[in-house]
Structure 1
Amino acid sequence: MSAALTLAKPEHLDKLTALCAAFHADEGIELSDEARRAGLAPLLEGLPYGVAYLIGPPRAPIGYIVVCFGWSVEFGGLDAIIDELYIRPGVRGRGIATEALIALPRALAEGGLRAIHLEVDRENEKAIKLYKRAGFAPREKYMFMSRQL
């Protein structure tokens, strides 16, 4: 099983929406398919604020990753936040997520990306191990905070 990344395009919207719905069901995120599609479609149409990648073969993807771009003075330029990462349950535990997370910086570095960030539940030891294997490290002094508008 390969964790090859394919930049998602408008023709992938249905597959990506289905994967996203499965992720949201796993995480208890309540969102309509219409809202999901509205959040994903601009990324597939070239919106400059983020991208979505299919993981695995584009005809039958086994997961996806959404990356949103920003700017950081501290990191010296363009940075990104991994907004969502999902691997189908039937293929988890095979190193696919680790492989995708290691391939992601290579895919984005050509565009001048300086740092990638992510948020993880402090209680999710399995996810924390995954992210550490892929080179991510906690910033002990900092806590990710949000305000919904």
Structure 2
Amino acid sequence: MSAALTLAGPDHLDKLMALVEAFHTEAEMTSTEESRRAALGPLLDGIPYGCVYLIGPPRAPIGYMVITFTWSVEYGGLDGNIDELYIRPGVRGRGIAFEALVALPNALADGGLRTIHLEVDRENTNALKLYRRAGFALNENYAFMTKHL
């Protein structure tokens, strides 16, 4: 199994919808098919705010990663956020997520990305271990805060 990455386009929507639904169900997120489709459509159409990468063979992806972009004065330019990362349960534990977490940020750095962030539950020791291995570190000085609009 490989963490081959493919930039997803509009023709990947149906395969991606199934993966996103599986992730949101597993993570107990309250999203609807309509809201998922509305969020994914612009990313797949190429808006500059983010992109989606399929993990594994594009015909039968085993996961996906959503990256969104912002601009940071503190970090000196283009800033990224891993909004979602999902690997099908049947293929987890084989290093695929680790490969994707290393390869994709490195490739995006070649395009000017300066930093990349992700959100993690501090109680999820497996995720923390994976992210640390991939070079991410907890930022003790900042807390991620949210305001729903």
TM-score range relative to shorter protein: over 0.9
* TM-score (normalised: structure 1): 0.98
| Aligned mates of 1:77, 1:143 — CA distance in 2 | 21
* Aligned AA (2:100): A
SS where residue 46 of structure 2 aligns? coil
Alignment root-mean-square deviation, CA: 0.6
Query: Structure 1 vs Structure 2: percent identity of aligned residues?
Result: 70
What residue is the counterpart of 1:137 in the other structure? 137
| Aligned mates of 1:107, 1:37 — CA distance in 2 | 27
- Paired residues in the alignment total 149
Which ranges in structure 1 are unaligned for 5 or more consecutive residues?
none
What residue is the counterpart of 2:115 in the other structure? 115
Which ranges in structure 2 are unaligned for 5 or more consecutive residues?
none
| Aligned mates of 2:65, 2:23 — CA distance in 1 | 11
What residue is the counterpart of 2:79 in the other structure? 79
SS where residue 94 of structure 1 aligns? coil
Task: Tell whether 2:32 aligns with 1:29.
Answer: no
* Aligned AA (1:91): V
* Aligned AA (1:112): G
| Aligned mates of 2:81, 2:87 — CA distance in 1 | 18
What residue is the counterpart of 1:68 in the other structure? 68
| Aligned mates of 1:25, 1:139 — CA distance in 2 | 28
Q: Deviations over 1:67-109 (max 9, x none)?
A: 0000111110000110000000000000000000000112211
| Aligned mates of 1:119, 1:38 — CA distance in 2 | 22
* TM-score (normalised: structure 2): 0.98
* Aligned AA (2:81): I
1:32, distance to aligned residue in structure 2 (A)? 1.2
* Aligned AA (2:29): I
**In the TM superposition, what are the counterparts of 1:85-104 in structure 2 within 5 Å?**
85-104=85-104
| Aligned mates of 1:94, 1:59 — CA distance in 2 | 20
